[in-house]
């Protein structure tokens, strides 16, 4: 208590001494001490405009339960805020980059690649090819409406490069670059069952030059969204060898070359300026016999060793009175 009284007295003495010290100077100069606001502009000319620069924003009440509002109140609130009423469905943008199937697939003639065009069967095949050529020419004309420089021989060379690149990337298991030459529909079929396997593929030569045997165009969703599919006949010589995860040969040979006849479908989104030709499918005719599946390898389970039979004690029946002494003792016999 004494300490508090002494501190109050000290403060009063300091205040009185300061006033007394400044009193002669203040009276002599006839001045008055005034406090000024340093945040206030010295020119009040633009005071109104500075006030109008500040906009009062009504913050939304996030704690309000909107389910309690009626439809009329909700409509008024949305109209006041300049918002459109929400739609009852969700729309998502999607882009069709490839079709899901082969439209009007080409049917290869039976015995193609083995029958000479001079024979009767070869002449029949050539006649059927001419009958189907009308729709093919109409489809190629449709492609030229979007690509003025489209030429069949140039396309066949490009298709051959895409064909070789696709098999090379598949052997290297380069899935990132493989999607550039294969459509989304063919991608699962191409990479199916290639895990844990080593593929050795080599292109040797062309037995016959690749040629376009079938062409079709169709629209998806709208008439302006056009897709083109061209079927190319490849008659080549290749070598293929597939090894399993243990390095054992499952299929083919790296030394033996075989003649391969394939019908590959190429597709392009011709309505898209940046569309490219990609492999879409391979046509396998119904008359072609099924190939034997490759032999799969598995880890052989270790056989359990057979346990030896346990010996049991068996009592031998009494044979005679002479052996009465020995009959009482048990003998060891195998069960």
CATH number at residue 141: 3.10.450.240
Report the alpha-carbon distance of residue 277 to residue 288 in Å, rounded. Answer: 27
210-257 pLDDT, tens digit per residue, is 999 889 998 888 888 899 999 999 999 999 999 988 888 888 888 999
- The CA–CA distances, whole Å, from 324 to 284, 315, 329 equal 89, 13, 10
pLDDT at 45 over 70: yes
Q: Residue 259 — φ and ψ, nearest 5°?
A: -85, 130
Q: Taking the model in full, what pTM does it have?
A: 0.61
Residue 313 pLDDT grade (very low, low, confident, very high; cuts 50, 70, 90) = low
Least confident of 46-60, 124-138, 215-229: 124-138
Residue 26 lies in a domain: no
167-179 pLDDT, tens digit per residue, is 999 999 988 899 9
Report the alpha-carbon distance of residue 254 to residue 240 in Å, rounded. Answer: 6
Task: Give how many domains the chain has, as a whole number.
Answer: 1
Task: Report residue 140 as tokens.
Answer: 């190629």
Residue 315 lies in a domain: no
Higher pLDDT residue, 280 or 7? 280
What is the residue range of 159's domain?
Answer: 120-283
Residue 190 lies in a domain: yes
Least confident of 5-14, 15-24, 55-64, 297-306: 15-24
Residue 233 lies in a domain: yes
Q: Sort strands 249-268 and 226-243 into parallel, antiparallel or unpaired.
A: antiparallel
Task: Report residue 257 as tokens.
Answer: 């070359």
Q: Which long-range contacts (CB under 8 A, 24 or more apart) does 164-168 make?
A: 164/203, 166/190, 166/279, 167/201, 167/203, 168/201
Q: Are 294 and 242 in contact (CB under 8 A)?
A: yes
Residue 86 lies in a domain: no
pLDDT at 19 over 50: no
Distance of CA 18 to the CA centre of its chain: 84
Q: What is the overall mean pLDDT for the chain? A: 79
Report the alpha-carbon distance of residue 9 to residue 6 in Å, rounded. Answer: 5
Share of the chain above pLDDT 70, in %: 74
Residue 208 lies in a domain: yes
Residue 334 lies in a domain: no
Angle between helices 120-131 and 133-146 (to 10 degrees): 40
Residue 188 lies in a domain: yes
Report the alpha-carbon distance of residue 279 to residue 187 in Å, rounded. Answer: 9
User: Which residues, including other chains, have CB under 8 Å from residue 67's CB and lie 6 or more apart?
Assistant: none
């Amino acid at each position: 208590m004494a300490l508090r009284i002494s501190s109050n007295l000290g403060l009063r003495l300091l205040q009185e001494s300061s006033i007394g010290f400044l009193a002669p100077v203040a009276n002599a100069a006839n001045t008055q001490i005034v406090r000024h606001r340093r945040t206030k502009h010295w020119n009040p000319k633009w005071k109104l405009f500075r006030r109008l620069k500040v906009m009062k924003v009504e913050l939304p009440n996030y704690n309000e339960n909107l389910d309690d509002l009626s439809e009329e109140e909700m409509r008024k609130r949305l109209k006041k805020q300049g918002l459109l009423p929400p739609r009852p469905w969700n729309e998502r943008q999607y882009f069709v980059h490839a079709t899901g199937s082969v439209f009007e697939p080409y049917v290869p003639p039976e015995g193609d690649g083995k029958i000479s065009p001079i024979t009767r069967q070869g002449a029949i095949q050539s006649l059927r090819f001419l009958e189907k050529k009308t729709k093919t020419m109409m489809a190629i004309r449709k492609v030229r409406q979007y690509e003025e420089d489209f030429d069949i021989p140039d396309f066949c060379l490009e298709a051959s490069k895409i064909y070789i690149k696709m098999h090379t990337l598949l052997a290297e298991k380069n899935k990132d670059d493989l999607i550039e030459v294969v459509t989304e529909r063919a991608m699962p079929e191409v990479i199916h069952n290639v895990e844990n396997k080593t593929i050795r593929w080599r292109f040797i030569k062309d037995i016959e030059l690749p040629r376009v045997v079938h062409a079709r165009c169709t629209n998806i969703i709208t008439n302006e969204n056009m897709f083109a599919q061209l079927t190319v006949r490849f008659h080549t010589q290749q070598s293929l060898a597939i090894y399993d995860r243990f390095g054992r040969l499952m299929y083919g040979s790296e030394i033996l070359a075989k003649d391969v006849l394939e019908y590959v479908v190429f597709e392009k989104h011709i309505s898209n300026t940046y569309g490219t030709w990609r492999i879409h499918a391979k046509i396998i005719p119904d008359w072609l016999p099924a190939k034997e599946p490759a032999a799969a390898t598995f880890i052989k389970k270790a056989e359990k060793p057979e346990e030896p039979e346990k010996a049991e004690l068996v009592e031998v029946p009494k044979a005679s009175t002479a052996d009465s002494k020995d009959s009482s003792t048990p003998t060891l016999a195998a069960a």
